[in-house]
Structure 1
Amino acid sequence: MGQHEVADCYGLEMELFSIWMKNKGMTKSTHRAYMSDVSFFLQMVYPAETKKISKMEIMRYMAACREKGAGDEARNRKLSSLRSFFKALIEMEHMDSNPAALIAKSKQEKNRIPVYLEENELEALLHAMKGKYYIRNVSIVLLMAYAGLRVGEIHRMNVQDLQQDGSIHILGKGRKWRVVPLPDALRQMLNEALADRRESKQGKEQPFFVSQFGRRLSIRMIQTVADETIKQLKLSMPALADKRISSHKLRHSFATMQIRSGTDIRTLQELLGHASIETTQIYTHIDNKQLRSAMNNISSKIPVQFQNR
């Protein structure tokens, strides 16, 4: 059974879902991923009417995903896609109930320590940068590693988002704005990037980072800037060759630095733009001074004969 038959059978539902996601302001990547997940699910239940889809069909689909090797995280995303799909159909008055709503998400491994770069490695990363668009590219990497910005947030930045007081207004996930006060060195670099920036050809819109053609720098290009720099770093530091470092790991590095500097978790949550503090808590396990201090408190209690062995 091909994609065409599924599109013919569920074309209206997919269109309603697409409109609903656009109205919610979901990113293009989320839109694409959710449409793909729902399409695979509908292929499995074809030709059942959406109104007649039950919890059983969804459980069967989730089991099939597990058998094909999808991990907890991947299956949870697929479940989120289906919950949103049925929620959209309810809001668009195409269905009355959500068969995916009561299905529990898979329990994921919690507090897995994230991959990040040490401060000396970040310094080496910046030293590895060179090339025609040096000022622009260094600014991008600095925003990831020393302001904790996501790739999509850098992509969406406009000139007016850089404030006179040295802070930057960031449009984050879920269309939520946050304010990030910038260190002086980073603010100076951004001002240099503005002075060096090509004129934008996007009419009224003034993107902060533009391509050589005067267009808003794409998400892919921003990732490429980070990836190419990381590749150079790995050549200069062979010990990092097997470390899985990506543009997002630079954000992890920022969070790690903050925790090590004594920033409390609520403040870090605000800086990172996390909706839930649970997401921020993974960083508390990197350098937890309180845990070490608690263990030091009892070190003198260990009997003398065991202390200096």
Structure 2
Amino acid sequence: MYFPRISPLQPPDYTGHLQLFLQYLTVQRRLAHLTVTAYGADLEFFFRFLSQEIPSVQEHIGKEHVRRFFLYCQQQRIGARSNARRLASIKAYFQFLHTQGIIAANPMADLQAPKTGISLPKALTLAEVETLLHPPTPPSPLALRNHAMLHLLYATGMRVSELVNLPMNSCNLHSCHIRILGKGNKERIVPFSSSAALIIKDYLEKARPMIWSGRPSPMLFLTNRGAAMTRHRFWQIIGEMAFNAGISKTISPHMLRHSFATHLLSGGADLRSVQMMLGHTDISTTQIYTHIDTDRLKAAHQRFHPRG
């Protein structure tokens, strides 16, 4: 992918190559679809702000424009982590424009990302998990499907995007393991309990044929249209299930993933095994879960400290 270098006297076309940039991220960088979508949304938001707030930006964009953009983001109470991601998107796009010869210099080269601090993941207690995973009443086909999805999510710690896109042939109920195609098309195998296998088997026998009239579909969890569920719809479902279970806190699918990791480490699992099951490339990403088991640390301190 190559663009001829333009004259420095010609105003740069900052927005006209956005789709080519997203294509570059998909084809050459091989980033996940959701990641590429996030890049596109961040950049469209940035350029929409510039077109509305700074009409003169048609000639040149500089650091001052970016500072004004992030001042606006702060005024809108957008968090530091979201702003850091937006800055990464902006810097990557301008680096692409510079590398391809579309702009003579990269004005964003030395911009520093804001410090985001450590955001500790929120996990459910064991009692909350037990409440959430209680068998549905009445056991309608859709309720059995949702119940099975929730069990598998907690049993494997997979991402919600991985859960809703699971093919039938990825789940082995005999050996109780699931093959997951994660970020960067990296495959991992994660075991699950025999109790989770029974719940999935119950869904496959009693609910799935009724949801989609027994017609063939490659997906494990189906909607009544025979298609995979969207991430957004499963977010809604898990919120409804938590509300019906009497859980007051806001629960997201990712909270089940956090709970999976936290409870494994609390039970004595080693960090490397949890890293492999979560599909983390860097073990430092998994290590954050070692910071949140404060109850166990307090109990150990009270038990063994001489002045406890």
1:233 to 245, 264, 275: 245
Aligned residues: 284
- The answer as to 2:133 corresponding to 1:122 is no
1:39 to 30, 40, 44: 44
1:216 to 219, 225, 228: 228
Per the alignment, do residues 286 and 15 of structure 1 end up closer, same or farther by CA in structure 2, a change over 3 Å counting? closer
2:165 to 150, 156, 160: 156
Structure 2 CA distance, aligned partners of 1:258 and 1:101?
Answer: 42
- The answer as to 2:272 corresponding to 1:266 is yes
Contact kept in structure 1, 2:212 and 2:224, CA below 8 Å: no
1:77 to 82, 85, 90: 85
How many angstroms does 1:100 deviate by? Answer: 3.5
Task: Give the counterpart letter for 1:229 in structure 2.
Answer: M
Task: Give the counterpart letter for 1:39 in structure 2.
Answer: E
Per the alignment, do residues 220 and 71 of structure 1 end up closer, same or farther by CA in structure 2, a change over 3 Å counting? closer
Per the alignment, do residues 88 and 138 of structure 1 end up closer, same or farther by CA in structure 2, a change over 3 Å counting? farther
Where structure 1 has 5 or more consecutive residues not aligned to the other structure, the ranges are: 1-8, 235-239
Task: Give the counterpart letter for 2:176 in structure 1.
Answer: G
* Cα-to-partner distance string for 1:117-150 (whole Å, 9 max, x where unaligned): 2222212112263433233211110122221122
Counterpart mapping for 1:82-161 below 5 A = 82-89=90-97, 94-95=102-103, 98-110=106-118, 112-127=119-134, 129-130=136-137, 131-161=140-170
Per the alignment, do residues 191 and 94 of structure 1 end up closer, same or farther by CA in structure 2, a change over 3 Å counting? farther
* Cα-to-partner distance string for 1:11-47 (whole Å, 9 max, x where unaligned): 5312212322433554554444322321232242666
- The answer as to 2:202 corresponding to 1:186 is no
Structure 1 CA distance, aligned partners of 2:14 and 2:167?
Answer: 39
* Cα-to-partner distance string for 1:238-293 (whole Å, 9 max, x where unaligned): xx42x232222122221221121011222222211223333322321232656764
1:237: which partner in 2?
A: none
How many angstroms does 1:212 deviate by? Answer: 1.3
Structure 2 CA distance, aligned partners of 1:184 and 1:30?
Answer: 34
Per the alignment, do residues 264 and 91 of structure 1 end up closer, same or farther by CA in structure 2, a change over 3 Å counting? farther
Per the alignment, do residues 48 and 158 of structure 1 end up closer, same or farther by CA in structure 2, a change over 3 Å counting? same
2:7: which partner in 1?
A: none
Task: Give the counterpart letter for 1:84 in structure 2.
Answer: A
* Cα-to-partner distance string for 1:63-119 (whole Å, 9 max, x where unaligned): 442344322112111112213323443565545765445322222232x44322222
What SS does the aligned partner of 1:213 have?
coil
2:8: which partner in 1?
A: none
Contact kept in structure 2, 1:129 and 1:138, CA below 8 Å: yes
Structure 1 CA distance, aligned partners of 2:171 and 2:228?
Answer: 16
How many angstroms does 1:294 deviate by? Answer: 6.3
Counterpart mapping for 1:192-211 below 5 A = 192-195=202-205, 196-198=207-209, 206-211=218-223
Pairwise CA RMSD of aligned residues?
3.2
Task: Give the counterpart letter for 1:212 in structure 2.
Answer: N
Task: Give the counterpart letter for 1:77 in structure 2.
Answer: R
Per the alignment, do residues 212 and 148 of structure 1 end up closer, same or farther by CA in structure 2, a change over 3 Å counting? same
How many angstroms does 1:192 deviate by? Answer: 3.2
* Cα-to-partner distance string for 1:187-221 (whole Å, 9 max, x where unaligned): 232233333424979x9971111111211222223
Contact kept in structure 2, 1:115 and 1:245, CA below 8 Å: no
How many angstroms does 1:172 deviate by? Answer: 1.9
Structure 1 range deviating more: 94-103 or 30-39: 94-103
